[in-house]
């Protein structure tokens, strides 16, 4: 019985991945460099898409706009956050927000370590300040530590100066603890504004949102979180989950379930790379 369920789920996972190449879903991917993640719905007009110089390099592509891929140094000022990765083949990215929290983050780190998987942690400065050891652990395990502001405010309600303080103080703390400034930023509640994009670029960070929202913060049940991740699985998909901000025991349990399933389904769980100056 259990085996059958597992088999069905695996089939569903595989089917979900294949569906990305279908015209309806392919519209999510803009054609261009690194478009290997899925064919465009229609032939792109104009000159052929420029091929990435290094096919194995991790590249990012925004959903809207046609800015250049993430480049070393100061990133471009984007108008929309990046929602998924492209050019990674059958790869996915797991992201955990709002931590670190000593009640849940260590469990998540343990599971990732068990499967030798790297993920992204978008940390809040005020949480990180209280638990720098967890930040060190993330960095030492090869995870990417991203900036999720200091106190998790709604940036759209803050002055530009306040947004800067929220972002800069967090980057300063991450640098102090991990030895490197974060290269990625994520706005709390996914509420982006111009200041966030401009200041993020100024501080050397690319804005990363997500493709699949587990809505784990609503505590919908472990099973539901697992189903959302597996149902939304596909090449280049970025998954949003949380390791803090409330009772995250469901998120912790769900990871133990979906992570091995994703790996069994042939996904490579990875993190995007950017070259620091």
Residue window 151-170: x/- pattern of binding to Zn ion, with contact defined by CB under 5 A: --------------------
Q: Which of residues 172-191 bind Zn ion (CB under 5 A)?
A: 188
List 83, 88, 95, 98, residue binding Zn ion (CB under 5 A): 98
Catalytic member of 107, 242, 243, 261: 242
Nearer to Zn ion, 172 or 213 (CB): 213
Closest chain position to Zn ion (CB): 97
109: exposed, middle or buried (C-beta count within 10 Å: 0-12, 13-18, 19+)? buried
Chain center to CA of 66? 20
DSSP string of 225-275, one letter each residue: HHHHHHHH--TTBEEEEESSSS--HHHHHHHHHHHHHHHHTT-EE------
Nearer to Zn ion, 88 or 216 (CB): 216
Determine the size of the site formed for Zn ion (CB under 5 A).
Answer: 3
**Which residues does 269 contact at the CB level (< 8 Å), separation at least 6?**
91, 92, 93, 94, 115, 117, 118, 119, 259, 262, 263
Work out how close the CB of 165 gets to Zn ion at its nearest, in angstroms, rounded to a whole number: 18
List 69, 97, 117, 123, residue binding Zn ion (CB under 5 A): 97
242 is annotated as an active-site residue: yes
Nearer to Zn ion, 97 or 166 (CB): 97
Of 200, 182, 91, the C-alpha closest to 138 is 182
Residue window 27-66: x/- pattern of binding to Zn ion, with contact defined by CB under 5 A: ----------------------------------------
Chain center to CA of 108? 15
Nearer to Zn ion, 97 or 243 (CB): 97
Work out how close the CB of 153 gets to Zn ion at its nearest, in angstroms, rounded to a whole number: 10
Give the pairing type, strands 238-242 and 268-269: unpaired
Of 186, 157, 9, 11, the C-alpha closest to 83 is 186
What residues line the site for Zn ion (CB under 5 A)? 97-98, 188
Residues classed as catalytic: 97, 242
């Amino acid at each position: 019985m259990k085996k059958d369920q597992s088999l069905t789920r695996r089939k569903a996972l595989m089917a979900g991945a294949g569906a990305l190449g279908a015209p309806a879903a392919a519209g999510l991917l803009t054609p261009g460099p690194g478009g290997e993640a899925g064919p465009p719905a229609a032939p792109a007009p104009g000159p052929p898409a420029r091929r990435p110089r290094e096919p194995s390099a991790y590249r990012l592509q925004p959903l809207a706009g046609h800015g250049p891929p993430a480049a070393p140094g100061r990133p471009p000022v984007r108008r929309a956050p990046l929602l998924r990765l492209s050019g990674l083949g059958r790869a996915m990215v797991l992201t955990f927000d709002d931590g670190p929290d000593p009640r849940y983050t260590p469990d998540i780190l343990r599971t990732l370590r068990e499967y030798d998987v790297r993920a992204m942690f978008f940390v809040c400065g005020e949480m990180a300040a209280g638990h720098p050891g967890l930040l060190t652990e993330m960095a030492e395990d090869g995870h990417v530590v991203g900036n999720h502001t200091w106190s998790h405010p709604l940036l759209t309600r803050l002055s530009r100066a306040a947004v800067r303080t929220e972002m800069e103080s967090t980057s300063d703390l991450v640098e102090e603890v991990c030895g490197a400034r974060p290269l990625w930023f994520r706005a709390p509640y996914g509420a982006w504004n111009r200041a966030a994009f401009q200041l993020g670029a100024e501080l050397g960070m690319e804005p990363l949102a997500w493709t699949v929202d587990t809505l784990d913060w609503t505590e919908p049940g472990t099973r539901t979180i697992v189903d959302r991740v597996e149902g939304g699985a596909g090449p280049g998909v970025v998954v949003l989950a949380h390791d803090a901000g409330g009772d995250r025991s469901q998120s912790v349990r769900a990871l133990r379930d979906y992570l091995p399933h994703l790996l069994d389904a042939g996904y490579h769980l990875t993190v995007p790379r950017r070259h620091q100056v």
